[in-house]
């Protein structure tokens, strides 16, 4: 078992002694450097001690929160490879967010116990091991769900595809709300998120799997990064930050579903399309939706993504005046997946903050599972064989 090299930053010798004892009590860490006053900048002598010691983890006692935030910023800049764990009793959401944005990886409730500290050190070792393994592993896949016509049901489809993907063996699924300028996934899932995609984008330069997952909200077997909550938050969305965010997403999750509006700035739209293994273009069987889908296909052709676009025909009914064959002829592209029309089941799901349940509509659930399984390259369950299959096979050997 590898011991974790820990550095301590505390406001007093007494608190340093307490934390040193807690680290030793875990049996999982060793203290290599202790500093008993907060630092103000990267040039402080105390920061130099951390640079020389190169600890794996720096444990900061945030008794004085403003001073601790300044220290964390300096340490994160000077020793970027170190995890910064913050011991604090702060419960205020704004101050917690300031600590995280300054560079804190985790907040440990004060007073620190050997058990809580041990869990944090174990997560550090597990993450480092995961990073080593990820270097040789294939990155996760990104599936983008979009529509040229608002109200076509793209968000509902994206949520249910993510839910179905989460049912697959060994799947670790993320849902990223890239609706522009405001996201609705949090409303669809009936949740009030602490963090949104704006937080992840603003931290993109130092984002890693652990920090990304700390921004996520767990919902129905998959992790959700909700969309923008206000118009000004969209200022954080730039090409570099978005590219960094999606890179970490593929390092962290086996599958990621993006709910995308095509009104995204062109630079950002091109980045998302370029990183997507499949772009699911949702349309409904009406003239306006078909016309806009045609424009969407031309846009994707401009991004050299035509070979990755798959048409999803939503709200299909037998009585539709415009049928699947008409749509394929008009768009000169086959329909990859069809989703039935069950307004009541979809509204029940939205009002309950969940994916569509089999009890509400087994047909919709079947459609979503078939789509998600094919996206992931997972074999769907074979249909029940007929009675003739019970007969013995004819022996053709000589």
Asked if 147 and 117 sit in the same domain, the reply is no
Question: Is the link from the previous residue into 221 a cis peptide, with omega within 30 of 0?
Answer: no
Please count the structural domains in the chain. 2
Asked if 214 and 101 sit in the same domain, the reply is no
User: Is residue 385 in a domain?
Assistant: no
Asked if 243 and 369 sit in the same domain, the reply is yes
The 3-state secondary structure of 322-382 reads: CCHHHHHHHHCCCEEEEEECCHHHHHHHHHHCCCCCCCCCHHHHHHHHHHHHHHCCCCCCC
Last residue of a domain, one of 134, 165, 189: 134
Distance CA 175, CA 226 (A): 8
Last residue of a domain, one of 73, 103, 134: 134
pLDDT of residue 334: 94
Q: Which residues pair with 146 in a beta bridge?
A: 260, 281
Asked if 204 and 99 sit in the same domain, the reply is no
Asked whether 369 and 337 are in contact (CB, 8 A), the reply is no
CATH code of residue 71: 3.40.50.2300
Asked if 235 and 289 sit in the same domain, the reply is yes
Asked if 33 and 75 sit in the same domain, the reply is yes
pLDDT of residue 91: 85
The SS3 of residue 121 is helix
pLDDT of residue 395: 47
Range of the domain at 279: 141-375
Number of Cβ within 10 Å of residue 39's Cβ equals 23
Asked if 181 and 281 sit in the same domain, the reply is yes
pLDDT of residue 7: 94
pLDDT of residue 235: 60
Distance CA 371, CA 11 (A): 56
pLDDT of residue 139: 78
User: Is residue 286 in a domain?
Assistant: yes
398 residues of the chain, pLDDT tens digit each: 568 999 999 999 999 999 999 999 999 899 999 999 999 888 888 899 999 888 999 999 999 999 999 999 999 888 888 999 999 988 888 889 999 999 999 999 988 999 999 999 998 888 877 766 654 444 789 999 999 888 888 999 999 999 999 999 889 999 999 987 777 888 888 888 888 898 899 888 889 988 999 999 888 789 999 988 776 655 657 888 899 999 999 999 999 999 998 888 888 899 999 999 999 999 999 999 999 999 999 999 999 999 999 999 999 988 889 999 999 999 999 999 999 888 788 778 777 777 766 656 688 888 989 999 898 887 554 444 444 444 444 443 33
CATH code of residue 263: 3.40.50.300
User: Is residue 386 in a domain?
Assistant: no
pLDDT of residue 383: 42
Asked if 317 and 234 sit in the same domain, the reply is yes
Asked if 371 and 223 sit in the same domain, the reply is yes
CA angle, residues 49, 55, 60, in degrees to nearest 5: 80
User: Is residue 325 in a domain?
Assistant: yes
The 3-state secondary structure of 2-37 reads: CCEEEEEECCCHHHHHHHHHHHHHHCCEEEEEEECC
Buried b / exposed e across 125-159, counting CB within 10 Å, b at 16+?
Answer: bebeeeeeeeeeeeebbbbbbbbbbeebbbbbbbb
CA angle, residues 162, 168, 172, in degrees to nearest 5: 60
User: Is residue 393 in a domain?
Assistant: no
User: Is residue 126 in a domain?
Assistant: yes
Asked whether 26 and 114 are in contact (CB, 8 A), the reply is yes
User: Is residue 388 in a domain?
Assistant: no
Asked whether 102 and 72 are in contact (CB, 8 A), the reply is yes
Last residue of a domain, one of 134, 157, 174: 134
Asked if 25 and 80 sit in the same domain, the reply is yes
Asked if 175 and 324 sit in the same domain, the reply is yes
Asked if 113 and 175 sit in the same domain, the reply is no
User: Is residue 390 in a domain?
Assistant: no
């Amino acid at each position: 078992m590898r011991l974790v090299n820990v550095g301590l930053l505390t406001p007093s010798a007494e608190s340093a002694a307490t934390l040193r004892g807690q680290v030793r009590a875990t049996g999982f860490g060793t203290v290599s450097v202790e500093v008993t006053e907060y630092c103000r900048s990267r040039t402080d002598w105390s920061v130099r001690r951390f640079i020389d010691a190169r600890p794996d983890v720096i444990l900061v006692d945030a008794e004085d929160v403003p001073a601790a935030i300044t220290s964390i910023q300096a340490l994160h800049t000077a020793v970027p490879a170190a995890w910064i764990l913050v011991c604090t009793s702060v419960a205020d959401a704004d101050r917690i967010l300031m600590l995280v944005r300054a560079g804190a990886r985790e907040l440990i409730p004060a007073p620190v116990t050997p058990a809580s500290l041990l869990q944090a050190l174990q997560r550090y070792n597990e993450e480092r091991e995961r990073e080593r393994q990820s270097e040789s592993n294939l990155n996760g896949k990104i599936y983008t769900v979009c529509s040229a016509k608002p109200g076509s049901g793209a968000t509902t489809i994206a949520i249910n595809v993510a839910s179905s993907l989460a049912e697959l063996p060994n799947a670790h699924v993320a849902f990223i709300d890239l609706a522009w300028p405001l996201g609705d996934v949090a409303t669809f899932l009936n949740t009030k998120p602490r963090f949104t995609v704006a937080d992840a984008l603003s931290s993109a330069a130092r984002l890693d799997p652990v920090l990304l997952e700390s921004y996520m909200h767990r919902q129905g077997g998959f992790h959700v990064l909700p969309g923008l909550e206000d118009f000004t938050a969209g200022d954080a969305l730039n090409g570099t930050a978005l590219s960094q965010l999606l890179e970490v997403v593929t390092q962290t999750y086996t599958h990621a579903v993006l709910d995308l509006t095509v009104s995204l700035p062109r630079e950002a739209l091109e980045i998302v399309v370029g990183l997507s293994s499949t772009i699911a273009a949702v349309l409904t069987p009406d003239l306006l939706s078909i016309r806009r889908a045609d424009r969407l296909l031309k846009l994707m052709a401009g991004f050299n993504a035509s070979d990755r676009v798959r048409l999803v025909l939503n709200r299909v009914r037998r009585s539709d005046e415009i049928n699947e064959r008409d749509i394929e002829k008009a768009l000169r592209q086959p329909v990859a997946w069809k989703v039935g029309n069950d307004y009541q089941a979809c509204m029940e799901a939205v009002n309950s903050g969940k994916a569509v349940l089999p009890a509400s509509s087994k047909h919709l659930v079947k459609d979503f599972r078939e789509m998600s399984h094919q996206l992931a390259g997972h074999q769907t369950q074979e249909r029940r064989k007929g009675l003739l299959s019970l007969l013995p096979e004819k022996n053709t050997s000589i």
